[in-house]
């Protein structure tokens, strides 16, 4: 069901966790709130479910106004029909698995027979068909999170929220469960909000990702757009991009190239951006866009720096190098096997001007917020 | 969050209701007695039924540090320090032996650190006056017989400090044992790996990590000894030794009673305990770095080698002095038809043994009434305290109702009130109130509910805080309202600890003497009062028999509690 968060602020005493945040979520869409701890992502989500009372704004789910500060509307969490999967699983230890999953139906006075059927279906869906009569305190972490998912699904929620549900699980299980969550959400056509600080999880799960910082959304985009065109250096940094440097951009030349000076010790970098910026900027070069050459390339190349391989690691599909060149520590990824470089080898690093991204510095953008 | 959620405008007013009602009750129960005490300390008249009179004067406070007051204050300080030092030495040693060594009979050593808690300090005092009174004390008789030229006298400062040391050692034991056995052994292993010897590991790693527990138990023990009433009263009176609590009692029983001075001393004593609590709070606040993770670690064990049995002997001699000898002495005293003992042989003269004292006590209508009264009071405290303390803990930790912070402060306030002082404040408070509660068992019930409020409140609070708020939040998101989530999730999860805290209240109430001293009448004596009266009246054999019966009752309740509910938590205060 369609969710509309409009100009919501959340405040704890003097501490503002969320500042006038607006967000529209389409029916059936999965939006991931991504950001470092303290960015307000959890407060935003808890406001949607009704566990947090915002200090201003409105929240609408479908046609129902759930929260409206001005009109004194605040529908309690138990009447919002919003499901939530908690980071701590929140499985009640004094109940069996089936009792845990059946709890929302008991609260809704669903008849016993129907309730039993729906619980069985939900447990089947999460792969715990035979676990119904088990005590909930005897489950493993992964099983608990599956029970939590079944409990949220069984109530047929209008919106389903996930609060870092995978952060307490080990890496392999995390990936597996992540794909299952996405699968279930898409098959059921559920509207979902997912909170995480793991950018890989965010990109893999989301229809759209909202990158948050200091209580506002810095960028709201599809994973592809986000990765291709981060809005500023914070987003690029948080998405795990390396090779980010701060500098000053000169006015672009007629051919669209511009020179960016880092500092006295390092050479200028030539960039060619679609929409050039000037003044204080961040530049970002993706590791896979950098080329390594044993010999200096012959062609006249604006960005070629000689340097030394300081470390390297083989990752199966690719090899990752750390190169110290022209006063910069650069991450370089090559997909070609057999480059046969070793630690200490002399190399030349090259990058095309059009592969140098020029991004606004954090805090220099007039409006950091994404318009809703 | 899990506040009491309601929509609409009416919410503001309905939200004020629960805490408002609770705070009103607490004001009468807790704040009024404190107020009456302070009032009596700065006026020249005593609160009388229904009226507050008297002119303002600070003369009582100027008397505080003169004459008999000064010596009572000095004695309190000396006994507090000496008793604390001794109990820390005993408790710390037992804790170390039980947690970190391969001493034989480890489980028994551990148990011996806790068992003396179930002998109330009242019974301990009765027993030790039998064992070590000058002349006819049983130990002195034995010493004379085997030619040891020592004459023990328990009615002296060292004697009283010794009894304190014995019966407060379990508090240090529990805290230090907890710290030693819950410490992550990897911290010590790391010290070893990085080159520290066993001794240096102990000095640089183990000891600093246990230090907060040691400091906290020292402060706790000192506070408990300073406010103890029965021990200095029973053991100090023969030698003319007063402490502040016993001095308050004597002032109130003088003719005419010097109530205002007693109140001023009470205020002074409260301030002392308050200061101790402030120190303790600061220490606990710094204690955050402790390594206690709650995980079941297997701590590093020191192999004692040839010292194993020496350590065992020391542990065994503690339990002998604190429990076995005292109980044996009480039994001897109560079984004898002829109190005079001329030599060691008389201890084993079976012909004088009999159950006359027990039958006499059991047939004494005073004792019967007291037993009934103690049970009634204990059960009522268990019920009323269980409900009140749990409600307070729930409001503080599980709602966002306004005023809940105040509830928490009031809940902990009785900690600063020595029991004798609380008793005094209650006496005057219920003089003033137009409810004829004085002279009924109900006033004892209320006094005990207040006295044990910090323990009851914190034990329920602890278990509430251990419940992750997500467990309740997920009930909300599943469709349960505040009431249903409390009844289906919160209450089932804390039920066991509420029941065990209520049982703790029962045991504590049965043991309590000090809080009752100014509140009972001839119709409302409880067991502890009757034993105290027997002692006061010089009928030692009867006091001994009553003490044994009393200890049996307490032991039975503790056993039942343990058996059926796994309650091992020992009572943590009171006499």
H/E/C letters for each residue in A192-240? EEEEECCHHHHHHHCCEEEEEECCEEEEEECHHHHHHCCCCHHHHHHCC
- pLDDT of B6: 37
pLDDT of residue B201: 80
pLDDT band at B16 (very low <50, low <70, confident <90, very high): confident
B526-550 mean pLDDT: 90
- Which pair of structure tokens corresponds to residue B289? 């770095």
| Alpha carbon of A160: minimum distance to chain B alpha carbons (Å) | 10
How many CA atoms lie within 13 Å of B174's alpha carbon, on the beta-carbon side? 15
Residues A299-317 have a mean pLDDT of 87
Q: What is the pLDDT of residue A260?
A: 87
Which ranges constitute the DSSP H helices of B228-355?
A: 230-236, 244-253, 259-286, 308-319, 325-335
A92 to A100, A125, A132, B468, B485: CA distances (angstroms):
7, 20, 14, 10, 11
Q: Which of B477, B484, B488 sits opposite A77 (nearest CB)?
A: B477
CA distance B509 to B381: 7
Instruction: Give the span between the Cα atoms of A141 and A125, in whole angstroms.
Output: 18
Task: Examine the pLDDT at B87 and tell me if it is beyond 80.
Answer: yes
- Chain A residue whose CA is closest to B470: A90
For residue B495, give the chain A residue with the closest CA. Answer: A94
State the Cα–Cα distance between residues A176 and A204, nearest whole angstrom: 12
Hey, what's the torsion of the CAs at B138, B139, B142, B146, to 10 degrees?
A: -170
3-state secondary structure of A19: strand
Identify which has the larger pLDDT, B159 or B216. Answer: B159
Give the single-character DSSP code of A248: E
Residue B5 pLDDT > 70 = no
Instruction: Please give the pLDDT value at position B289.
Output: 46
As a whole number of angstroms, the distance between CA B232 and CA B575 comes to 12
Strand order in the sheet with A319-325: A291-293, A346-350, A304-314, A319-325, A328-334
Residue range A61-80: mean pLDDT, rounded: 92
Q: Which residues of B touch A51 (CB under 8 A)?
A: 1-2, 473, 476-477
Q: What domains lie within chain B, and their CATH numbers?
A: 16-45+357-575 (1.10.3720.10), 65-123+156-324 (1.10.3720.10)
Answer whether residue B256 shows pLDDT above 50. Answer: yes
- Between vectors from CA B274 to CA B272 and to CA B280, what angle results, nearest 5°? 110
Residues of A in contact with B8 (CB under 8 A): 72
The answer to whether A345 and A309 are in contact (CB under 8 A) is yes
Q: Smallest Cβ distance to B478: which of A46, A52, A104?
A: A104
**Is B9 part of the contact surface with chain A (CB cutoff 8 Å)?**
yes
User: Is the CB of A77 less than 8 angstroms away from the CB of B488?
Assistant: no
> What is the average pLDDT value for chain A, to the nearest integer?
88
Strand partners, A3: A25, A61
User: How far is CA B300 from each of CA A321, B192, B195, B290, rounded to the nearest angstrom?
Assistant: 45, 12, 17, 17
Q: Is B1 on the interface with A (CB under 8 A)?
A: yes
Run of H or E residues at B63: helix B59-63
In this structure, the number of other CB atoms found within 10 A of the CB of residue B28 comes to 15
Do you know the residue count of chain B?
A: 575
Give A82's contacts in chain B (Cβ within 8 Å): 477
Contact call for residues B114 and B173 (beta carbons, < 8 A): yes
A81 — contact with chain B (CB < 8 Å)?
yes
Which pTM was predicted? Answer: 0.78
Between CA B361 and CA B356 the distance in angstroms is: 8
Q: Smallest Cβ distance to B479: which of A51, A78, A148? A: A78
Q: Above 90 in pLDDT, residue B377? A: yes
Cβ–Cβ < 8 Å for B120, B114: no
Query: Nearest Cα to B43, choosing from B58, B33, B32?
Result: B58
Pick from A130-134, A213-217, B44-48, B150-154: least confident: B44-48
DSSP A361: P
Task: Tell me the H-state helices in B437-490.
Answer: 441-451, 453-465, 469-477, 482-485
Residue-level pLDDT at B315: 93
Q: Do residue B473 and residue A76 have CB atoms under 8 angstroms apart?
A: no
Residue that is written with structure tokens 């009062």 in the block: B529
**Interval A143-200: pLDDT, tens:** 999 999 999 999 999 999 999 999 888 888 899 999 999 999 999 899 999 999 999 8
Q: What is the distance, to the nearest Å, from the Cα of residue B203 to the centroid of all Cα atoms in its chain? A: 33
* pLDDT exceeds cutoff 90 at B564: no
Q: What is the pLDDT of residues A309-343, one digit of tens each?
A: 999 988 888 889 999 988 889 999 988 766 678 89
In chain B, what residues touch A75 (CB-CB under 8 Å)?
A: 7
CB A336 within 8 A of CB A303: no
- Neighbouring CB atoms inside 10 A of B170's CB total 26
Listed residue (A139, A141, A120, A140) closest to A130, CA to CA: A120
Given a cut of 50, whether residue B4 has pLDDT beyond it is: no
Which residue, B225, B276, B248, B274, is CA-closest to B72?
A: B248
For residue B245, give the nearest of B75, B439, B451, B427 by alpha carbon. Answer: B75
The pLDDT value recorded for residue A339 is 66
Mention every residue, 6+ apart, whose C-beta is less than 8 A from residue A238.
Answer: A34, A35, A36, A199, A211
Going along B62-130, which residue ranges are E strands? none
Which residues on chain A are in Cβ contact (under 8 Å) with B5? 50, 74, 76-78
Q: Check B474 against A51: CB less than 8 A apart.
A: no
Structure tokens at A237: 């940094």
In chain A the domains, ranked by start, together with CATH numbers, are: 3-233 (3.40.50.300), 243-359 (2.40.50.100)
CA distance A84 to A133: 23
- Strands (DSSP E) contained in B138-202 are none
In terms of Cβ atoms closer than 10 Å to its own Cβ (0-12, 13-18, 19+), residue B85 is middle
Question: Is residue B330 within 8 Å of residue B547, measured between CB atoms?
Answer: yes
Express each pLDDT in B446-495 by its tens digit.
999 999 999 899 888 888 888 888 899 999 999 998 889 888 999 888 88
pLDDT digit string (tens) for A117-149? 999 999 999 999 899 888 887 888 889 999 999
Q: Distance (Å, rounded) from C-alpha B79 to C-alpha A226?
A: 73
Contact B5 A74 (CB under 8 A): yes
Alpha-carbon span B112 to B319, nearest angstrom = 6
Q: How far is CA A79 from CA A24, A69, A158, A207, A312, in A?
A: 21, 18, 11, 27, 55
8 Å CB contact of B478 and A78: yes
Greater confidence (B100 vs B58) lies with B100
Which of the residues A55, A90, A115 would you substitute to probe the B interface, choosing the one with the greatest number of B C-beta atoms within 10 Å?
A: A90
Name the β-bridge partners of A8. A21
> Has residue B356 got a pLDDT over 60?
yes
Q: Which residue has the tokens 């669209």?
A: A256
Residue with tokens 């002399």: A346
Residue A209 has, within 13 A of its CA and on its CB side, a CA count of 28
In terms of Cβ atoms closer than 10 Å to its own Cβ (0-12, 13-18, 19+), residue B80 is: buried
Which residues fall within 8 angstroms of residue B120, CB to CB, at 6 or more apart? B230, B511, B513, B528, B550, B551, B554, B574, B575
Q: Which value, in Å, is the radius of gyration of the alpha carbons in chain A?
A: 25
The DSSP code for B293 is -
* Interface residue B10 vs chain A (CB under 8 A): no
Burial of B465 by CB count in 10 Å (0-12 exposed, 13-18 middle, 19+ buried)? middle
Task: Give the percent of chain B with pLDDT over 70.
Answer: 91
Token pair 């009447």 in the structure block, residue? A79
d(CA A167, CA A27): 26
- Percent of chain B whose pLDDT exceeds 90: 37
Contact call for B480 and A90, based on CB within 8 A = no
Cα separation, B179 vs B292, whole angstroms: 7
Residue A366: which pLDDT band, with cuts at 50, 70 and 90? Answer: very low
d(CA B421, CA B428): 11
Cβ-proximal residues to A13 (8 Å cutoff; 6+ apart), any chain: none
């Amino acid at each position: 069901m369609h969710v509309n968060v409009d100009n919501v602020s959340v405040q704890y005493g003097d501490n503002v966790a969320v500042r006038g945040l607006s967000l529209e979520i389409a029916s059936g869409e999965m939006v991931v709130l991504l950001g470092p701890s303290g960015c307000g992502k959890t407060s935003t989500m808890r406001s949607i479910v009704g566990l947090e009372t915002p200090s201003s704004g409105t929240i609408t789910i479908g046609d129902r106004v759930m929260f409206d500060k001005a009109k004194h509307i605040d529908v309690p969490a138990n009447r919002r029909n919003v499901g939530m999967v908690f980071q701590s699983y929140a499985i009640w230890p004094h109940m069996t698995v089936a009792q845990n999953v059946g709890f929302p139906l008991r609260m809704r006075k669903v008849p016993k027979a129907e309730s039993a059927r729906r619980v069985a279906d939900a447990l089947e869906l999460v792969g715990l068909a035979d676990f119904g009569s088990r005590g909930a305190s005897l489950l493993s972490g992964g099983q608990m999170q599956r029970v939590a998912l079944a409990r949220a699904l069984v109530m047929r929620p209008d919106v389903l929220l996930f609060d870092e549900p995978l952060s307490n699980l080990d890496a392999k299980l995390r990936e597996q469960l992540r794909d299952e969550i996405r699968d279930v959400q898409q098959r059921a056509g559920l509207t979902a909000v997912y909170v995480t600080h793991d950018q890989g999880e965010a990109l893999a799960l989301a229809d759209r990702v909202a990158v948050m910082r200091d209580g506002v959304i810095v960028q709201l985009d599809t994973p592809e757009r986000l990765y291709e065109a981060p809005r500023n250096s914070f987003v690029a940094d948080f998405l795990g991009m390396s090779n980010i440097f701060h500098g000053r951009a000169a006015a672009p030349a007629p051919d669209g190239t511009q020179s960016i000076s880092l500092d006295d010790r390092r050479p200028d970098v030539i960039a060619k951006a679609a929409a050039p910026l000037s003044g204080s900027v961040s530049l970002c070069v993706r590791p896979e866009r950098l080329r390594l050459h044993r010999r200096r390339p012959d062609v006249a190349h604006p960005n070629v720096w000689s340097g030394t391989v300081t470390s390297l690691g083989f990752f199966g599909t690719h090899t990752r190098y750390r190169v110290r060149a022209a006063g910069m520590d650069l991450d370089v990824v090559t997909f070609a096997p057999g480059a046969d470089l070793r630690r200490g080898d002399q190399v030349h690093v090259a990058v095309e001007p059009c592969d140098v991204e020029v991004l606004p510095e954090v805090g220099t953008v007039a409006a950091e917020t994404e318009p809703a | 969050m899990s506040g009491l959620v309601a929509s609409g405008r009416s919410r503001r007013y309905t939200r004020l209701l629960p805490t408002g009602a609770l705070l009103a009750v607490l004001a009468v129960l807790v704040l009024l007695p404190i107020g009456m005490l302070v009032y009596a300390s700065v006026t020249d008249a005593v609160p009388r039924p229904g009226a507050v009179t008297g002119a303002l004067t600070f003369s009582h406070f100027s008397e505080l540090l003169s004459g008999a007051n000064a010596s009572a204050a000095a004695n309190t300080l000396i006994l507090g320090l000496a008793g604390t030092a001794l109990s820390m030495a005993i408790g710390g040693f037992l804790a170390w032996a039980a947690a970190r060594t391969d001493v034989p009979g480890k489980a028994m050593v551990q148990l011996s650190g806790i068992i003396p808690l179930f002998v109330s300090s009242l019974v301990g005092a009765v027993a030790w006056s039998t064992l070590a009174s000058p002349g006819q004390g049983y130990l002195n008789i034995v010493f004379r017989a085997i030619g040891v030229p020592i004459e023990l006298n328990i009615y002296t400062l060292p004697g009283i400090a010794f009894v304190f040391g014995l019966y407060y050692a379990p508090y240090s034991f529990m805290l230090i044992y907890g710290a030693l056995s819950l410490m992550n052994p990897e911290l010590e292993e790391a010290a070893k790996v990085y080159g520290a010897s066993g001794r240096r590991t102990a000095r640089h790693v183990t000891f600093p990590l246990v230090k907060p527990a040691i400091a906290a138990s020292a402060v706790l023990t000192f506070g408990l000894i300073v406010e103890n009433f029965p021990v200095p009263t029973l053991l100090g009176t023969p030698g003319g030794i007063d402490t502040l609590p016993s001095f308050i009692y004597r002032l109130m029983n003088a003719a005419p009673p010097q109530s205002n001075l007693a109140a001023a001393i009470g205020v002074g004593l409260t301030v002392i305990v308050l200061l101790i609590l402030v120190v303790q709070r600061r220490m606990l606040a710094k204690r955050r770095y402790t390594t206690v993770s709650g995980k079941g670690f297997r701590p590093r064990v020191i192999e004692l080698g040839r010292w194993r049995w020496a350590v065992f002997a020391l542990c065994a001699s503690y339990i002998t002095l604190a429990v076995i000898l005292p109980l044996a002495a009480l039994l001897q005293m109560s079984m004898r038809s002829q109190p005079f003992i001329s030599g060691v042989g008389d201890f084993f003269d079976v012909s004088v043994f009999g159950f006359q004292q027990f039958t006499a006590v059991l047939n004494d209508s005073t004792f019967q009434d007291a037993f009934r009264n103690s049970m009634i009071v204990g059960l009522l405290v268990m019920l009323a305290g269980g409900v009140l303390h749990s409600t307070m803990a729930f409001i503080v930790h599980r709602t966002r109702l306004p005023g809940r912070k105040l509830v928490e402060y009031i809940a902990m306030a009785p900690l600063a009130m020595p029991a004798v002082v609380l008793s005094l404040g209650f006496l005057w408070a219920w003089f003033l109130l137009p409810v004829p509660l004085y002279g009924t068992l109900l006033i004892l019930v209320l006094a005990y509910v207040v006295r044990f409020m910090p323990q009851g409140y914190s034990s329920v609070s602890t278990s509430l805080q251990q419940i992750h708020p997500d467990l309740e939040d997920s009930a909300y998101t599943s469709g349960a309202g505040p009431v249903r989530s409390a009844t289906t999730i919160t209450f089932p999860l804390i039920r066991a600890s509420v029941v065990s805290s209520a049982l703790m209240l029962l045991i504590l109430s049965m043991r309590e003497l000090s809080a009752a001293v100014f509140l009972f009448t001839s119709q409302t004596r409880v067991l502890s009062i009757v034993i105290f009266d027997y002692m006061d009246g010089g009928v030692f054999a009867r006091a001994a028999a009553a003490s044994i019966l009393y200890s049996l009752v307490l032991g039975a309740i503790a056993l039942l509690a343990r058996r059926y509910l796994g309650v091992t938590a020992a009572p943590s205060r009171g006499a």
